[in-house]
Amino acid sequence: MSVRGRVLIGTLCLVAAALLVADLAVYRFLSSFLHGRVDDQLESGMWAAPRILELAGESTGPPAPVLARGQPATVYPDGTYFGHLDESGDVVRDFTITLEPGVDGSLDDPEPTEPVLPDGLPGSGAGGGGPSRRLTVEGLGEGPRYRVLADALTGGGTVLVAIPLTSTSATLHRLLLIEAGVTVGVLFAVGLLGFFVVRRGLRPLDRIADSAGAIAAGDLSTRVALADDRTEVGRLGAALNTMLSQIETAFEERQASEDLLRRFVADASHELRTPLTSIQGYAELFRRGASERPEDLAKAMRQIETESRRMAELVDELLLLARLDQPDSVESPIELATLDLATIVAEAVEAARDLDQERRIALAAKGGPVIVLGDELRLRQLLDNLLSNVREHTPSGTRVRALVGREDGLAVVEVSDDGPGIDEEDAARVFERFYRVDPSRSRQRGGVGLGLSIVAAIAEAHGGRATCEPVIPHGVRFRIELPLAEEAARETGAAPGGAAPVSPLR
């Protein structure tokens, strides 16, 4: 059964139960009230009973109006029965009030009825002289039920008054009909109103179901139309939209990761295929007779050695990146120690000047020693890769600037040049693996496209980051940010003044 049906049925059951309790309470209250009024009439009739019975014995017709506590005889309902019984329970004298036609709505010449009296009434041989007794009895034949008040006489015998419950029963029966009609009407109205209210209230759930169906069909961009966030359905819609955003982001990240992996495998295959093809070609040359020609043999061996070394370097770089991608691995390539980053930068700049003496490389340091917690070998590799990238992608003689210092609680290294520069799109992708700005993938400029990827991976392994931005009007700036030794020590639990455990900073 649907939620709408369960809510509607539950509401109707609760309303029906409440109406039933209310109907029962009203019925019991009115019944008690009407029977109490009859009992009051019985008390009044008991005072007038001796006089009425006396008059009934003197006349064959109905007596003249008599007083009972100052009230005329007509205060008693039509059919009121007065009786005098002896000790054995036999009727000595009785009288039934029959009003004139038209009085209190009575019919012409009504048939008098009498109550069916039980044994053991007060004043009888079985009942003794106990207190007065009230009871409800059936009428003779098809007569109405009676409410009876019986009292013992001083000399023995019983006097009683019985009032028919015709009016009381009719009133209560009419009340039952009214309550039944009202109950059915209220249930119908509540059901109809509840149907529209529940339908309107659950309409956002229908929209959520439609959105879920669209998502199941593959449209992860679908969102639920938000309702009032103060309601449960509104909060559910907001939570669902948040979850959908996270799922969509996760799918996009997974797709991007898969695309990156496929591109990485394709690029790695491409880069490895070139030296392998070259080695295969020179091996084929050797097989076809180069071994008998010393010059060709030397050339073939030299090229095979060169391509093998190049392929080994590529594999080593791939292995290094793979190990840097697994910071929790026991084979982590990062061994931390307290280092002066300014010294490492100075050594890397000096080595770059020796490799290219025509290139002007300026070094600036600010803030004194820049103490970091890092791996000296990997940090030197990071700087060598940055300077090598500048050397390979800028003309000879291009001015290069290297800066090391402290900034906003971080150790900062910047390498910038006045070369041709790159655009914003290339700057955002230069740290991707196998990415080269040159779309022709020519090896005349640059390597295989892993140098800057290693720079970014080493920076991240030390808890920092690497960025690249174009310099206006021309040139490019690489920036490395690393945590200082104090901050790094707090993150890793290592002492600033000594060696740290073998683990990357994160």
Answer yes or no: are the C-beta atoms of 362 and 399 closer than 8 Å. yes
**Cα distance from N-terminal residue to C-terminal residue, the chain:** 53
User: What distance in Å separates the CA atoms of residue 141 and residue 139, rounded to the nearest whole number?
Assistant: 6
SS (H, E, C) 102-131: CHHHCCCCCCCCCECCCCCCCCCCCCCCCC
Which of 325, 319, 318 has the alpha carbon at shortest distance from 270?
Answer: 318
User: What distance in Å separates the CA atoms of residue 152 and residue 169, rounded to the nearest whole number?
Assistant: 29
User: What distance in Å separates the CA atoms of residue 129 and residue 152, rounded to the nearest whole number?
Assistant: 6
User: What distance in Å separates the CA atoms of residue 117 and residue 123, rounded to the nearest whole number?
Assistant: 14
Domain boundaries 232-324, CATH class = mainly alpha
pLDDT at 279: 80
Question: Does the N-terminal peptide bond of residue 110 adopt cis geometry, omega within 30 degrees of 0?
Answer: no
CB atoms within 10 A of CB 421: 20
Residues of the chain with pLDDT under 70: 56-75, 99-112, 125-130, 226-229, 267, 270-271, 290-292, 296, 326-332, 367, 436-449, 487-506
Residue 298 to residues 170, 304, 356, Cα–Cα distance (Å): 129, 10, 29
pLDDT at 344: 92
Answer yes or no: are the C-beta atoms of 175 and 30 closer than 8 Å. yes
Structure tokens at 119: 């044994």
156: left (phi over 0), alpha (psi -120 to 50) or beta: left
Instruction: Give the global pTM.
Output: 0.48
Estimate the crossing angle of helix 203-216 against helix 166-201, to 10 degrees. 40
Structure tokens at 429: 């992708």
pLDDT at 60: 43
Which of 229, 196, 233 has the alpha carbon at shortest distance from 4?
Answer: 196
Residue 448 to residues 129, 237, 270, 314, Cα–Cα distance (Å): 126, 49, 10, 8
Residue that has been written with the tokens 């392929």 in this structure:
311
Structure tokens at 289: 């007779």
Sign of torsion over alpha carbons 38, 44, 46, 50: negative
Q: Enter the CATH code of domain 337-492.
A: 3.30.565.10
User: What distance in Å separates the CA atoms of residue 469 and residue 500, rounded to the nearest whole number?
Assistant: 33
